[in-house]
């Protein structure tokens, strides 16, 4: 049965790949009869509702209902192709597509498995709107709880905008000790003077992510046996019944620039400044140290200094300043020069000394200065930029980045990128302290050396995204438990560095094929690695195929979209999640994958309201209990979800 579903969708995908028709359902605004009393009132056009990134890329508020909106109606509010969610909303995600990883040459806090829903400075958006705009997002969760995201923005004048938003989630989950409770508060403001000499963007965020951590189920064989006694997932034994992890952080951010010459001309000179002050806090709390597996007692993370009430805390603060000059010429392009100052500190409240020799310090502080030069140009059909960053303090880091984009016409675009990074390790690779004895380390790892070549082609026939990455001195986490420790289920995870070269290549093909009111949307990812040891593990094939129907009903008052999606990836040695350190680690003992995930959805749009109804993983009961998010964590069962997004333009 499972192979039938996979064959069915792959067959449709390649049957229609070369035989697409150009017909598609395009959502047109419905015809509205305007009363005579309102005919003389001005109506703001969509281009007056701008969404602006930190780099000034501009789009517009979009209230349409497309298949991409279906993909992004989730906890992260974005398309999660290439990510594998855990069973409960608000938990972490395993990474199927390695090329999704973002790089920063400067060291970061770490605990990356906890950061999927943590909004960094570059993720925030700024607005300029003709009238106040409100957006309300709602979606049901797993068992009791709800997921909401409320947002409002307004311009008090043409040149001053404010926005405030809060995203909150509480989801109980299906398994024991799996509650998620998260909150993301955002406040943004953007301003420019009337003569447009001064521009500023600022934001404040406060974010907290709380997860009960059960460490996975202890009896995988009971899950795979499909024993009806375990249809109630609360009956599965888990490693931890009272552990939880907590990440919180707040940030103050300002980016502003000033044009020195009074009037804008063919040549302009700007001075700019950016400041980012941020602090983060990660905590692992566990009242009961020992785990129970059947009738046995297990030291899951090994020996501990404490017999109960473990409360490991890591604190971090960062202050980043960047000042620069920009020379803009209408003929030559833009020339940038920046100098920055990066100061960070990860710290604990103690110093550890083992056997009067090994010293685990209480903090890791870094003061780094870099200089950066950049050139950017924009021609009618050709644009690009070239930048180089290098440290001027003793720490060795560099970042060379070149981007080129060719716009042949509306249907053809080609983008090329090359990046060469010499990256400092994240702080938690070099310093970590815990109440668990073997989870304490102080290291001095070498920089990671990363070369990335990326090519992206948009065409009427197929969209192609190719990436080749060469990694040297790759950093990762691995299980260093001895054979004896593994035999009693003890898991000892520590950072490691792979001193050889890893080659990674990915090819992603995307195409939507329309035939009448039906469409087949396909995304297929091929991946391959070459390495002497299994350190970077990815599935060779990841695919998402959606066949759906769209049409208007009730005199165009209702736009309906309904269909079935298949998500599938081949077997591979997936990384396992360790809640104590908030990271995934490499394992080469159990493969997951080769299971189809089928979702049925019905979506509707009435005026500016979009309604979503989905039966997630409806095939879970008849295609076998071999669906996992990581080797010890089954993924989501069949679940019915309801949600909506409601926009108001006042």
Contact 581, 554 (CB under 8 A): no
34 is written with which tokens? 């305007």
Q: How, if at all, do strands 358-360 and 126-129 pair?
A: unpaired
pLDDT in tens, 377-398: 998 889 999 999 999 999 999 9
pLDDT (tens digit per residue) in 436-458: 999 999 999 999 999 999 999 99
Torsion over CA: 237, 240, 242, 243 (sign): negative
Q: How far apart are CA 250 and CA 277, in angstroms?
A: 8
Rounded Cα–Cα distance for residues 429 and 497 (Å) = 10
265: exposed, middle or buried (C-beta count within 10 Å: 0-12, 13-18, 19+)?
exposed
pLDDT in tens, 114-166: 999 999 999 999 999 999 999 999 999 999 999 999 999 999 999 999 999 99
CA angle 631, 635, 636 (to 5 degrees): 170
Q: Could you tell me which residues come within 8 angstroms of residue 634 by beta carbon, excluding any fewer than 6 positions away?
A: 87, 175, 217, 223, 233, 625, 627, 628
Cβ proximity of 351 and 434 under 8 Å: no
Query: From CA 428, how far away is CA 281, in angstroms rounded?
Result: 13
Q: Is the pLDDT of residue 314 over 90?
A: yes
What is 67-99 written as a DSSP string? HHHHHT-STTSS--TTEEE-SSTTS-EEES-GG
CA atoms of 548 and 546, how far apart (whole Å): 6
What is the rounded distance in angstroms from the CA atom of residue 435 to the CA atom of residue 581?
Answer: 12
Phi, psi (rounded to 5 degrees) for 613: -135, 125
In the chain, pLDDT over 90 holds for what percent of residues?
85
Measuring CA to CA, which residue among 297, 585, 578, 289 is closest to residue 435? 289
Contact 307, 272 (CB under 8 A): no
Rounded to whole angstroms, the Cα distance separating 183 from 450 reads 34
Pairwise CA distance, residues 222 & 238, whole Å: 12
Whole-number pLDDT of residue 228: 85
* 50 beta partners: 60, 128
- Check if the beta carbon of residue 141 is closer than 8 Å to that of residue 147: yes
Tens of pLDDT, residue by residue over 198-245, are 999 999 999 999 999 999 999 999 999 888 888 889 999 999 999 999
pTM: 0.91
Q: How far apart are CA 48 and CA 131, in angstroms?
A: 9
| Residue 405, token pair as written in the block | 């984009």
User: For all residues of the chain together, what is the average pLDDT?
Assistant: 91
pLDDT, position 41: 58
* Contact assessment for residue 46 and residue 60, using Cβ atoms and an 8 Å cutoff: yes
As a whole number of angstroms, the distance between CA 186 and CA 206 comes to 7
pLDDT band at residue 319 under the 50/70/90 scheme: very high
Task: Please return the burial class of 477, using the count of CB atoms within 10 Å of its CB with bins 0-12, 13-18 and 19+.
Answer: buried
Place of tokens 């140290």: 289
Maximum separation of any 2 CA atoms in the chain, in Å:
88
- Average pLDDT on 575-591 reads 96
Tokens matching residue 354: 């083992």
């Amino acid at each position: 049965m499972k192979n039938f579903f996979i064959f069915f969708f792959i067959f449709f995908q390649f049957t229609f790949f070369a035989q697409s028709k150009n017909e598609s359902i395009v959502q047109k605004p419905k015809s509205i009869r305007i009363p005579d009393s309102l005919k003389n009132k001005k109506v703001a056009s969509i281009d007056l509702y701008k969404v602006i990134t930190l780099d000034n890329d501009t789009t517009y508020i979009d209230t349409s209902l497309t298949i991409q909106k279906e993909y992004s109606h989730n906890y992260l509010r974005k398309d999660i192709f290439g990510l594998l969610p855990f069973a409960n909303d608000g938990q972490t995600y395993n990474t199927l597509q390695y090329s999704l990883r973002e790089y920063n040459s400067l060291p970061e806090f770490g605990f990356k498995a906890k950061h999927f829903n943590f909004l960094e400075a570059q993720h925030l958006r700024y607005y300029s709107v003709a009238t106040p705009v409100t957006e309300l997002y709602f979606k049901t969760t797993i068992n009791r709880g709800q997921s909401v995201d409320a947002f409002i923005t307004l311009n008090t004048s043409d040149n001053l905008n404010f926005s405030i938003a809060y995203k909150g989630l509480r989801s109980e989950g299906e398994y024991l000790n799996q509650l998620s409770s998260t909150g993301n508060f955002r406040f943004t403001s953007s301003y420019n003077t009337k003569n447009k000499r001064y521009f500023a963007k600022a934001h404040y965020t406060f974010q907290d992510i709380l997860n009960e951590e059960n460490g996975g189920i202890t009896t995988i064989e009971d899950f795979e046996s499909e024993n009806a006694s375990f249809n109630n997932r609360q009956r599965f034994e888990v490693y931890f019944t009272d552990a939880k992890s907590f990440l919180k952080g707040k940030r103050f951010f300002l980016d502003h620039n000033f044009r020195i010459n009074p009037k804008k001309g063919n040549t302009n000179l700007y001075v700019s400044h950016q400041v980012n002050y941020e602090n983060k806090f990660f905590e692992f709390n566990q009242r009961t140290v020992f785990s129970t597996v059947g009738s046995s007692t297990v030291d899951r993370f090994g020996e501990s200094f404490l017999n109960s009430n473990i409360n490991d805390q890591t604190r971090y603060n960062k202050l980043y300043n960047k000042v620069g000059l920009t020379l803009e010429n209408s003929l030559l392009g833009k020339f940038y020069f920046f100098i920055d100052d990066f100061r960070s500190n990860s710290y604990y409240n103690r110093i550890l000394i083992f056997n009067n020799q090994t010293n685990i310090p209480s903090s890791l502080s870094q003061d780094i200065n870099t200089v950066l030069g950049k050139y950017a140009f924009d021609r009618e059909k050709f644009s690009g930029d070239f930048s180089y960053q290098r440290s001027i303090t003793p720490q060795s880091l560099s970042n060379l980045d070149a981007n080129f984009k060719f716009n042949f016409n509306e249907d053809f675009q080609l983008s090329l990128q090359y990046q060469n990074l010499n990256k400092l390790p994240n702080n938690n690779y070099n310093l970590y302290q815990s109440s668990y004895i073997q989870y304490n380390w102080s290291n001095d790892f070498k920089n990671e050396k990363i070369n990335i070549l990326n090519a992206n082609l948009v065409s009427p026939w197929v969209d192609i995204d190719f990436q080749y990455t060469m990694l040297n001195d790759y950093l990762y986490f691995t299980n260093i438990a001895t054979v004896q420790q593994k035999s009693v289920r003890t898991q000892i995870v520590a950072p490691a560095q792979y001193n050889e070269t890893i080659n990674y290549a990915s090819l992603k093909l995307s195409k939507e094929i329309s035939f009448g009111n039906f469409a087949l949307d396909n995304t297929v990812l091929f991946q391959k690695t070459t390495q002497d040891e299994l350190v970077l593990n990815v599935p060779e094939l990841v695919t998402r195929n959606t066949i759906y129907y769209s049409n208007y009903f009730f005199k165009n008052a209702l736009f309906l979209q309904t269909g079935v999606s298949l998500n599938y990836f081949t077997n591979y040695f997936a990384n396992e999640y360790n809640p104590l350190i908030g990271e995934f680690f490499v394992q080469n003992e159990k493969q997951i994958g080769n299971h189809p995930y089928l979702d049925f959805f019905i979506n509707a749009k009435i005026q500016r309201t979009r309604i979503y109804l989905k039966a997630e993983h409806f095939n879970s009961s008849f295609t076998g209990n071999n669906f996992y998010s990581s080797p010890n964590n089954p993924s989501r069962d069949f679940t019915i979800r309801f949600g909506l997004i409601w926009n108001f333009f006042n």
